[in-house]
Amino acid sequence: MGTINSEEDKKNPGQLVFGLDIGTRSLVGTVGYKTGEQFHVVAQCVREHESRSMLDGQIHDINTVGRSIAEVKRKLEDQIGKTLNEVCIAAAGRVLKTVTTTAEIEFPEDKTIESEDIHSLDMLGVEKAFEELSSNNTSETRFYCVGYTVVHYYMNGLQISVLDKHKAKRISVELIATFLPDDVVDGLYRAVEVADLQVANLTLEPIAAIQVAIPESFRMLNIALVDVGAGTSDISITKEGSIVAYGMIPKAGDELTEAVVKSCLVDFPTGEEIKTSYGKKVIKYNDIMGIQQKITSEEIDKIVEPVVRSMTKEISDKIKELNGDEPVSAIFIVGGGGKLPIFAQMLADEQGISRQRCALRGEEVLKSIDYMIENPNMDSMFVTPIGICLNFYDSKNNFIYVNFNGERVKLYDNGHLMVVDAAIQAGFPNEGLFPKRGAALDFVLNGTPHMIRGELGETAVVKVNDEEVSINSAIRAGDKIVVIESSAGERAKATINKLKEYEATITVIVNDTPVTLPKYADVNGELQSGYYEIQENDNIKLLDYYSVEQIAAFMDVTLKEGMNIYVNNKLSDKDTLVYSNFSIIWTLEELSLSDVEKEEDYLSSNEDYLNPEEDDFNSDEDDLNTEDASLKEDTYEDGPEDIDTIMDDTLNALKKVSTDMGIEVDIPGQPVNSMMVTVNGKNVILKGKTDYIYVDVFEFIDFDLSKPEGRAVVTKLNDRAAVFNEPIKAGDKIEIYWDRG
């Protein structure tokens, strides 16, 4: 479009619209503006293509067509004295697909219908039509909506011509949406860009032509409009006040020119010149041998008659197909390819209507146009470009282009486009827009499948014109969009002591003294501490017991031969399992009755401690036994209490045991700190120091460094390489072995 300068307001008192009909043989451009219902033409230009760079309405050589468009643009700019930056174009109906559909919007209550409501209703119909087309499209061809026309509007179920400002609870529409393959539309856009223009509006050629050729007052009649170009013949049908159908056949004026070329033995441009000179008494031309020849209009009729008969039969058959297998009442012909008189005559004959009701429309329909130029061209070729200009004012059928991550993406502008629409059209992965979780951790706990979800990653970074926005932000033509794909979070991690089912300790009563023991778990058949990091598909069983022998080992007590062991006052052995709050007595003598009574009294007086009614662990066990075995997500609680405190309490208990029972217990001088680690899969108790480093472990295991059995000693701490002087803590997993590789 051009911008109106104040000095020229009297000459061009409105927004200039540049309409361009990009035909197979020629380019026809018109510039004008609209005031009220009147359209004013201020410039016109016709230019033929340099070569056959278009066939059947499809651009084959984008650069050549682009140069031709640039030439038309330059000539029009010379006429109006200003620069044209935007252009309205129309697409020929090559491989045209039409879908007739209905859409409805119901409001919570009666409301006044506004233009936005009508637009939303139309767009709902277009989207529904596109869904229907897509569901039936078995090819890989992508189709785009290039226009739509409303057949009827309805208000509360009753037909109405105009919805605006009426009050209704329910509105609906019946419309025809037209679709063309992506390559047809894309070729038009790219050719326009070569000419340094942007597309302001795109429509379909028959939609544009009918704006001028068949006024609304005529549309009550059953009329066919045939726009005969060079490569395609586009058809539209009116009935009962509406446009009811669109169609196309891929035959037009070039078919006639080719017949002349073959008969007269000339090249294509000369054949086109002979055809367009029809009406002259004698037409002179030179054939390919350089010999001057003559031909009359009557002879041209005889040459093209077989082709015209074949073409008009196809057009007539298509008209009847679109009109419910019935002939129409009248046919209007526009475009440059149907100018030969015999064309209209034969089409009327094929349709079975009077020849007077099939006519070329040009000057007759253009009389309502105000030409503000000298010697205006009111030929039928200018019907479509003027219709293209008029269609701009509806602004219903726009495409826009945006730049998405460096690539040009075309979108149908429904008035509500967002970043996510561009992302989908560009094939950007949907999961790349939203935060992704890290891998989940699946394992089995006490026979029940468990799952811990991974961490959420970062959401996608979305920028429009270098400004950070959301994926639901609105976009406009020409926007530069950059989307950085969202990231995945950290994979799920957990140690056993972070499970809500885990309890840090087990408390047992050894010779009347409470002893606290760290809790362990069976993981895939191996004993692991609470610090064990759970791996995928681990089978974990939380152990709520110790054997008598394990308790003695933990306490560094030697169970001498002949020693009697009592668990809950029952004679037992070193393999007897001891659960939380059980009592243990080990002695060299059998318990007397008074001893048993004393023990029972102790148990009775400490019943609340030894057998709590609502013990947390037992409660968890009950919940675990009754819960459904379906997959569930774990939550975390605080970890176990400090193992050093537990060990200090245990050592205090050991001192009392050694005093009361006279059992040999190795308790070094104070202060001391004992702790348990796992070395090569076995539990090892470290004792005698307040702090421990890695090398201290060698004092408590059978590993002779003086007798090498391999190239080097491999030392690992919690599955990583260890340093000899680094600190270690209770529950650490230690591996020491010779590298024999």
Summarised one tens digit per residue, pLDDT across range 467-515 is 898 888 888 777 889 998 888 888 888 888 888 877 767 888 988 888 8
pLDDT: is 734 or 456 the higher one?
734
Query: 3-state class of 255 per DSSP?
Result: helix
In whole angstroms, give the CA distance from residue 40 to residue 12. Answer: 9
Q: What is the pLDDT of residue 305?
A: 94
The least confident of 352-366, 644-658, 670-684 is 644-658
The least confident of 8-17, 371-380, 435-444, 558-567 is 8-17
Q: What percent of the chain has pLDDT over 70?
A: 83
**Architecture of the 668-741 domain:** Roll (3.10)
CB contact at 8 A, 351 and 358: yes
Q: CA-CA distances (angstroms) from residue 648 to 262, 507, 691?
A: 111, 14, 13
Q: What is the pLDDT of residue 211?
A: 80
The least confident of 88-97, 142-151, 185-194, 676-685 is 88-97
pTM of the complete model:
0.52
Amino acid at 159: Q
* Rounded-to-10 torsion of CA 292, 298, 299, 305: 140
Chain centroid, CA 586 distance in Å: 71
Q: What is the pLDDT of residue 473?
A: 86
Residue 633: pLDDT above 50? Answer: no
**Architecture of the 400-484 domain:** Roll (3.10)
Q: What is the pLDDT of residue 673?
A: 61
pLDDT: is 518 or 572 the higher one?
572
Q: What is the pLDDT of residue 262?
A: 94
CB contact at 8 A, 210 and 225: yes
Model confidence pLDDT, tens digit, residues 125-182: 888 888 888 888 877 777 877 778 888 999 999 999 889 899 999 999 999 888 888 7
Model confidence pLDDT, tens digit, residues 9-53: 434 456 789 999 887 778 889 999 988 888 899 999 988 877 666
Please give the average per-residue pLDDT across 512-528, as a whole number.
84
The least confident of 134-143, 325-334, 675-684 is 134-143
Q: What is the pLDDT of residue 406?
A: 86
CB contact at 8 A, 233 and 249: yes
Direct distance between the N- and C-terminal alpha carbons of the chain, in angstroms, rounded to an integer: 80
**Architecture of the 1-146+175-215+368-397 domain:** 2-Layer Sandwich (3.30)
CB contact at 8 A, 255 and 61: no
Model confidence pLDDT, tens digit, residues 69-105: 999 999 999 999 999 988 999 877 567 788 899 999 9
Phi, psi torsion values for 26, nearest 5 degrees: -145, 165
For CATH 3.30.420.40, the residue range(s) in the chain are 1-146+175-215+368-397, 217-359
For CATH 3.10.20.30, the residue range(s) in the chain are 400-484, 496-639, 668-741
Model confidence pLDDT, tens digit, residues 281-317: 899 999 999 999 999 999 999 999 999 999 999 999 9
In whole angstroms, give the CA distance from residue 35 to residue 12. Answer: 10
Q: Alpha helix locations (H) across 283-371?
A: 297-322, 341-351, 363-366
Peptide bond before residue 518 is cis, with ω within 30 degrees of 0: no
How would you label 533-558 residue by residue, b for 16+ Cβ within 10 Å and e otherwise?
A: ebeeebebebebbbebebbbbbbbbe
Q: Where residue 261 falls among pLDDT bands split at 50, 70, 90? A: very high
Amino acid at 330: A
How would you label 165-181 residue by residue, b for 16+ Cβ within 10 Å and e otherwise?
A: eeebeebbbbbbbbbbb
Sheet architecture: strand order including 682-689 = 682-689, 673-679, 733-739, 712-717, 720-721
Q: Where residue 619 falls among pLDDT bands split at 50, 70, 90? A: very low
Element (H, E) at 571: strand 570-572
For the domain spanning 496-639, the CATH number is 3.10.20.30
CB contact at 8 A, 323 and 237: yes
Q: Where residue 661 falls among pLDDT bands split at 50, 70, 90? A: very low
In sequence order, the 6+-apart residues with CB closer than 8 A to the CB of 293 are: 264, 284, 285, 286, 287
Chain centroid, CA 149 distance in Å: 29
For the domain spanning 217-359, the CATH number is 3.30.420.40
Query: 3-state class of 464 per DSSP?
Result: strand
Residue 592: pLDDT above 90? Answer: no
Please give the average per-residue pLDDT across 614-631, as a whole number.
41
Annotate 50-115 with DSSP letters as a single string: SS--EETTEES-HHHHHHHHHHHHHHHHHHHTS---EEEEEE--TT-EEEEEEEEEEEEEEEE--H
Query: Mean pLDDT highest for which of 93-102, 303-312, 700-709, 727-736?
Result: 303-312
In sequence order, the 6+-apart residues with CB closer than 8 A to the CB of 157 are: 170, 172
Q: CA-CA distances (angstroms) from residue 71 to 49, 195, 298?
A: 10, 8, 36
Please give the average per-residue pLDDT across 413-432, as a whole number.
78
CB contact at 8 A, 558 and 664: yes
